[in-house]
Amino acid sequence: MSVPRPEYPRPQFARADWQCLNGEWEFEADYGDSGHERGLLERPLTGRITVPFCPESELSGVGHTDYLNAVWYRRAVEIPAAWGGRRVLVHFQAVDHDATVWANGVEVARHRGGFTPITLDLSGVASAGETVTLVVRARDAHHVPQARGKQANRFAPHSCFYTRTTGIWQTVWMEPVSDVAFLRPRITPDLANGRFDVVTPLSAGGPGANRAGWKVRATLTDDAGTVASAETRADLDLGPRLTLDVPEERRRLWEPGSPHLYGVTLELVDADGAVVDRVESYAGLRSVSLEGRRIKINGKSVFQRLVLDQGYWPESVMTAPTDDELKADIERSLEAGFNGARLHQKVFEERFLYWADKLGYIVWGEFPDWGCGGFGPRSDHQKPDASYVAQWLEAVDRDYSHPSIVGWCPLNETWQQIGDRITVLDDVTRAMFLATKAADPTRPVLDASGYAHRVPEADVYDSHDYDQKPDTFRERHAGLADNKPYLNEVDGKRESIPYRGQPYFVSEFGGIWWNPAAFDNKESWGYGERVKSLDEFHARFKGLCDALLDDPEMFGYCYTQLTDVYPEENGVFTFDRKPKFDLARLKAVQSRKAAIED
């Protein structure tokens, strides 16, 4: 049996030695979350599952779409003898939601949050040449409010809620590292000075660790060879810093549609000159800046023609069935004329960002919170708490060095009416904004996409507008030049603090409903009245896009959406990725120069 999703899961922080642990694991559902008391930690499990696909998915081999309050995994893994003398790390790229991991019966990790990685160190538990038994319990109680994104709180997908994901849903793998080793590096492009600033945090090592005389060495390369190199002492700082100056004649920019990536090699060298740790990475030389209502990339105003991408597949739910499909979704979007995406309501697999970097595709990162602190059927589905901030900081740290990311959006469609008492959601909104700015001062931050803007210092302001009539849609946004943009309201009440002239875009619009095969008793929906023909769709699409492209104050838009997702049939492509419209016509609408562009 071939190993599913065998590609290296972390391309921007890669070591030569590693082993993929995807494939068949023992598995057992634990509907009452009583498995620990019933001895599931100690005994073999009764079923089998294909990792990294969630048990709700077809590709997992389980396909159980009812509620799973807890699930267990078990696998015996042989650690290569060739890894002797090094610590062994096991990585879970994502486990939903509350995970505990045991190795040979010893608890070695606990993590709350279904969208960011977990790393455990097997030191003192298992070593090279030995077999380690890994057991994972993932709790995902459907009645407990937590960060879920678009996962359904009812039995079946409905409206904007989709099939749930429980347990392991991204790659599991292991690698050997030295006692003192690189942690995730941060590579910051400095276009103004033609260089890269590199911070290389190091693990502390054991009680006998001595880094006297050690160095960190960085090398920047392109197709012609070495571009720049630098080294610094490794014993004075927790995060040694280096600068890689790019000679003017070797400077090539990373730009939307024209990406150039430099290779980056980092080496940790001991006092005798031996390489203790070596990682491969890459970087793009680009800048993001604000000027009036413009967001500039490399000093140029680039209209952001974004598409809402939710990253679901019918056979594999939130996990891409193959790495090729991650790449193909970007290529589909580009073919339709979009130059980027808002990565909506999930933290996407890092391989997606790798392909975005490679293909010159701009993206906004987002946290999966939809409905937290809201009202009606969503109000008890997700509730903001400290884990939101913790998991969001993990996501920003993971993705900081990807040049394709041009903005952050911690929250989506929050509701807090002006004049209400301060809520926990107010606190979490501000905390997530401030945490993002502290973790990454190089990118603009939108406090919440749509509805309630509560942070005066937010870099960007936006609205969601699903008006389906191009004429009235254009009129609603005509006031931006006079500092009177369209604002979202709920029940006629204003949700946001006043607009103060920031860059503004409509971060959700369109959502045009089209499925000619839909019948009366089939749940199918989109926004507004369903178009009656392809020509009507194309006319509406052009009218809505033109209204925003023609606005000299608008820096971009985000069209809903790339694909249909379960009953939500308003995508450019069907759920199984077949084009619904003439992609050349869509691209022609979007390819003309926007009013705000240089």
**Residue range 96-147, pLDDT digits in tens:** 999 999 999 999 999 999 999 999 999 999 999 999 999 999 999 887 888 8
Q: How many helices (H) and strands (E) does the chain have?
A: 7, 33
Residue extents of the structural domains in the chain: 19-176, 195-283, 302-591
Cβ atoms of 489 and 416 within 8 Å: the answer is no
Strand-pair partners of 76 = 133
pLDDT digits (tens, 9 = 90+) for 2-27: 999 999 999 999 999 999 999 999 99
Contacts from 248-254 at CB under 8 Å and sequence distance 24+?
248/194, 250/222, 250/224, 251/194, 251/285, 252/222, 252/285, 253/191, 253/284, 253/285, 253/286, 253/298, 254/189, 254/284, 254/285, 254/286, 254/357, 254/360, 254/403
pLDDT for 520? 60
Q: Is the pLDDT of residue 57 over 90?
A: yes
pLDDT for 377? 45
Q: Which residue has the higher pLDDT, 523 or 65?
A: 65
* Cα–Cα nearest to 336, from 597, 128, 590, 508: 590
* Mean pLDDT within 457-475: 97
**CB-count burial class (<10 Å; 0-12, 13-18, 19+) for 16:** exposed
Name the CA radius of gyration of the chain, rounded.
24
Sole residue written with tokens 């604000």: 290
Backbone angles phi, psi at 597, to 5 degrees: -80, 150
- With a pLDDT cut of 70, the percent of the chain lying above it is 98
Give CA torsion, residues 433, 438, 442, 448, to 10 deg: -10
Q: How far apart are CA 403 and CA 254, in angstroms?
A: 7
* Mean pLDDT within 56-72: 97
Q: Is the pLDDT of residue 379 over 70?
A: no
Sole residue written with tokens 């080793």: 181
* Cα–Cα nearest to 446, from 593, 304, 301: 304
Rounded alpha-carbon distances, angstroms, from residue 312 to 317, 347, 403, 581: 5, 12, 24, 20
Domain 19-176 sits in which CATH superfamily?
A: Galactose-binding domain-like (2.60.120.260)
Cβ atoms of 59 and 81 within 8 Å: the answer is no
Cβ atoms of 556 and 304 within 8 Å: the answer is yes
pLDDT for 562? 98
Q: How far apart are CA 506 and CA 332, in angstroms?
A: 22
Cβ atoms of 283 and 261 within 8 Å: the answer is yes
* Cα–Cα nearest to 269, from 228, 231, 242: 231
Cβ atoms of 302 and 597 within 8 Å: the answer is yes
| Sheet containing 87-92, strands listed edge to edge, beginning at the edge strand earlier in sequence | 19-20, 172-177, 87-92, 118-121
- Is-same-fold flag (195-283; 302-591)? no
Q: Is the pLDDT of residue 308 over 80?
A: yes
In the CATH hierarchy, which fold is given to the domain comprising 302-591?
A: TIM Barrel (3.20.20)
Q: Is the pLDDT of residue 378 over 70?
A: no
Which 8-state DSSP code applies to residue 345?
S
**Which amino acid belongs to residue 237?**
D
149: left (phi over 0), alpha (psi -120 to 50) or beta: left
Per-residue pLDDT band at 375 (split at 50, 70, 90): very low
Q: Is the pLDDT of residue 501 over 50?
A: yes
* Mean pLDDT within 411-429: 83
Q: Is the pLDDT of residue 32 over 80?
A: yes
DSSP secondary structure, 354-420, as one string: HHHHHHT-EEEEE---TTTT--GGGTTT----HHHHHHHHHHHHHHTT-TTEEEEE-EEEE---TTS
Q: Is the pLDDT of residue 574 over 70?
A: yes
pLDDT for 208? 75
Cα-based angle 249, 254, 256 (whole degrees, multiple of 5):
140
Average pLDDT, the chain: 94
Q: Is the pLDDT of residue 422 over 80?
A: no
- CA-based max dimension of the chain: 76
Cβ atoms of 513 and 530 within 8 Å: the answer is yes
Backbone angles phi, psi at 555, to 5 degrees: -90, -10
Q: How far apart are CA 88 and CA 123, in angstroms?
A: 7
Per-residue pLDDT band at 40 (split at 50, 70, 90): very high
Cβ atoms of 97 and 113 within 8 Å: the answer is yes
Q: How far apart are CA 48 and CA 328, in angstroms?
A: 30
pLDDT for 380? 61
Give CA torsion, residues 171, 174, 178, 180, to 10 deg: 40
* Cα–Cα nearest to 52, from 142, 228, 180, 171: 171
Q: How far apart are CA 343 and CA 348, in angstroms?
A: 7
Per-residue pLDDT band at 376 (split at 50, 70, 90): very low
Considering the four listed CATH numbers 1.10.3470.10, 2.60.40.10, 3.40.1010.10, 1.20.140.10, the one that applies to the domain covering 195-283 is 2.60.40.10
